[in-house]
């Protein structure tokens, strides 16, 4: 039996990209407007009772120097309670969970969860991802994000015969899906040959194995399940969620062919939703690198450990495959504006469950969609949210 205490009654995002022309507040306002406009029976923006803002590194930037509490004023809601949620790459996913708990607690009925991140206003060198290694001053020396994930690719190849072509097939699929997504940062197809021939970043990961740095924002509107029909006749419910932390540093990991936090978080989410992986119709998972998606689809239980690469190469995760993965284009093509990422993934799940995904629409059989992020020195924390169209 799914949790189903909270409904998603609206969701939307802005076109992802290098948005130098938009301020942090502009992006937030755009996402909020999109979410409000998406509500089938209309939604008075002033009805929002509280907001949760996901921004990972706001304090490193100018505009958003003070966490999320400048957002309400900027989007016309000055006065409402507003809390910033930060949880590394899953910041948006976790804000969604916290927002859902706020509704379930009966303290607030109508809650806005909004993710915003400016990634491109500084040079790449000064930028966000180059600081991802911030942590212990000795243990983490030189550990940029590609450095944190490459060893998993190397070990997965060694243990299971995963190939660079299999990794590349993830990028090919996700860029294909992104080309169908009007909100994606990149909207061009790529070939396996192009991925293989792209410049090396951290062997065996090449440029097209990596997600871009992207500016973006996304928002969802939550309501108690029993009030969902005030806003829509096609509500989507929060079926369950799970969060798990892991020891954050590489030298503490017990395995380099899977991410323990993802396994643990998904078990909690499946238990809360009362389902298993076989019940999931589509998923949006954390493909910061091609190898990450392969780890994810195994750790989330869609494929046996070691079989994720083959499954991708054989099309089992494509739009028409057994379990469509990253129908939006994923982080690789849609982009990874960190605080916004999880909420943009949830928006895609919401569209898919409602049959609104256009050319990207997949078959919805059981009525469940899963959203996943992992982050925090690579894999220090994972969040899984499960949505359902079933009442």
Query: In this structure, how many other beta carbons lie within 10 angstroms of the beta carbon of residue 390?
Result: 13
CB of 275 to its own copies, least distance (A): 17
Interface with its own copies, residue 299, by CB under 8 A? no
Q: Of 89, 202, 211, 288, which is the active-site residue? A: 89
Structure tokens at 83: 């809390």
* Residue 147: burial class (beta carbons within 10 Å; 0-12, 13-18, 19+): middle
Q: Which x/- pattern over 93-132 shows residues binding its own copies (rule: CB under 8 A)?
A: -x--xx-xxx-xxxx-----------------------x-
Which range touches its own copies (CB under 8 A), out of 161-169, 313-321, 334-342, 369-377?
Answer: 369-377
Contacts of 263 (CB under 8 A, 6+ apart): 244, 299
**What are the beta bridge partners of residue 217?**
116
In the three-class reduction of DSSP (H, G, I as helix; E, B as strand; rest coil), residue 7 is classed as strand
Contact with its own copies (CB under 8 A) among 335, 376, 385, 387: 376
Residues 41-100 that bind its own copies (CB under 8 A): 50, 56-57, 59-60, 62-63, 65-70, 72-73, 78-88, 94, 97-98, 100
Subset of residues 252 to 271 that bind its own copies, contact rule: CB under 8 A: 252, 264, 268
**CB of 249 or CB of 256, closer to its own copies:** 249
Any catalytic annotation for residue 288? no
What is the DSSP secondary structure assignment for residue 368, as one 8-state letter?
A: E
CA–CA separation, 190 and 356 (whole Å): 25
Site for its own copies in 215-244 (CB under 8 A): 242-244
3-state secondary structure 13-61: ECCCECCCCCCHHHHHHHHHHHHHHCCCCCCCHHHCCEEEEECCCHHHC
Chain residues 137-156 in contact with its own copies, contact rule CB under 8 A: 137, 140
Dihedral sign for Cα atoms in the order 133, 28, 189, 330: positive
Which DSSP letter does residue 216 get? Answer: E
Q: Least distance in Å: CB of 325 to its own copies? A: 24
Beta bridge partner(s), residue 245: 381
CB of 147 to its own copies, least distance (A): 15
Number of residues that bind its own copies (CB under 8 A): 59
In order, the DSSP letters of 160-211 are H---HHHHHHHHHHHHHHHHT-TT-S------HHHHHHSPEEETTEEGGGBP
Q: Cβ 335 to its own copies, closest distance in Å?
A: 21
Which is nearer to its own copies, 102 or 220 (by Cβ)? 102
Which region holds residue 52: left if phi is over 0, alpha if psi is between -120 and 50, else beta? Answer: beta
Nearer to its own copies, 199 or 254 (CB): 254
Of the candidate residues 92, 115, 248, 339, the single one contacting its own copies (CB under 8 A): 248
Q: How far is the CB of 73 from its own copies (least distance, A)?
A: 5
CA-CA-CA-CA dihedral for 316, 320, 322, 324, to nearest 10:
80
Catalytic residue among 202, 336, 349, 372: 336
**Catalytic residue status for 202:** no
Residues numbered 2 to 21 that lie near its own copies (CB under 8 A) are 5
CB of 322 to its own copies, least distance (A): 30
Q: Smallest distance, Å, CB 286 to its own copies?
A: 14
Helix axes 290-299, 145-160, angle to 10 degrees: 60
Quick note: the x/- pattern for its own copies over 308-347, rule CB under 8 A, is ----------------------------------------
Segment holding 282, helix H or strand E: strand 282-284
Residues annotated catalytic, as ranges: 89, 336
List interacting residues with its own copies (CB under 8 A): 5, 50, 56-57, 59-60, 62-63, 65-70, 72-73, 78-88, 94, 97-98, 100-102, 104-107, 131, 133-137, 140, 242-248, 252, 264, 268, 375-377, 380-381
């Amino acid at each position: 039996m799914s949790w189903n205490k909270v409904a998603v009654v609206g969701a939307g995002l802005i076109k992802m990209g290098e948005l130098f022309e938009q301020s942090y507040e502009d992006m937030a306002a755009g996402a909020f407007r999109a979410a409000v406009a998406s509500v089938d029976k209309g939604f008075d923006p002033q009805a929002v009772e509280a907001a949760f803002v996901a921004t990972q590194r706001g304090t490193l930037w100018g505009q958003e120097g003070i966490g999320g509490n400048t957002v309400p004023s900027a989007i016309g809601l000055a006065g409402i309670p507003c809390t910033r949620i930060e949880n590394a790459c899953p910041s948006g996913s976790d804000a969604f969970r916290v927002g859902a708990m706020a509704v379930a607690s009966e303290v607030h009925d109508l809650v806005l969860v909004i993710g915003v991140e400016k990634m491109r206003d500084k040079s790449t060198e000064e930028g966000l991802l180059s600081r991802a290694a911030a942590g212990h001053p000795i243990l983490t020396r030189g550990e940029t994000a590609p450095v944190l994930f490459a060893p998993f690719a190397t070990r997965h190849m060694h243990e299971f015969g995963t190939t660079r072509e299999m990794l590349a097939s993830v990028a090919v699929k996700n860029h294909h899906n992104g080309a169908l997504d009007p909100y994606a940062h990149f909207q061009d197809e790529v070939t396996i040959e192009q991925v293989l021939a792209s410049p090396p970043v951290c062997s065996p990961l090449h440029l097209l194995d990596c997600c871009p740095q992207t500016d973006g924002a996304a928002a969802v509107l939550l309501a108690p399940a029993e009030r969902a029909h005030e806003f829509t006749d096609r509500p989507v419910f929060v079926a369950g969620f799970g969060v798990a932390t892991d020891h954050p540093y590489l030298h503490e990991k017990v395995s380099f062919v899977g991410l323990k936090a993802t396994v643990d978080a998904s078990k909690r989410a499946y238990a809360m939703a009362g389902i298993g992986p076989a019940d999931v119709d589509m998923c949006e998972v954390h493909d910061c690198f091609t190898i990450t998606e392969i780890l994810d689809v195994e750790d989330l239980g869609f494929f046996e450990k070691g079989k994720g690469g083959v499954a991708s190469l054989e099309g089992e995760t494509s739009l028409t495959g057994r379990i469509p993965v990253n129908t939006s284009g994923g982080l690789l093509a849609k982009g990874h504006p960190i605080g916004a990422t999880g909420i943009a993934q949830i928006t895609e799940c919401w569209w898919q469950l409602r049959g609104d995904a256009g050319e990207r629409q997949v078959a919805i059989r059981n009525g469940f969609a899963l959203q996943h992020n992992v982050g925090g020195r690579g894999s220090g924390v994972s969040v899984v949210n499960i949505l359902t169209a079933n009442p």
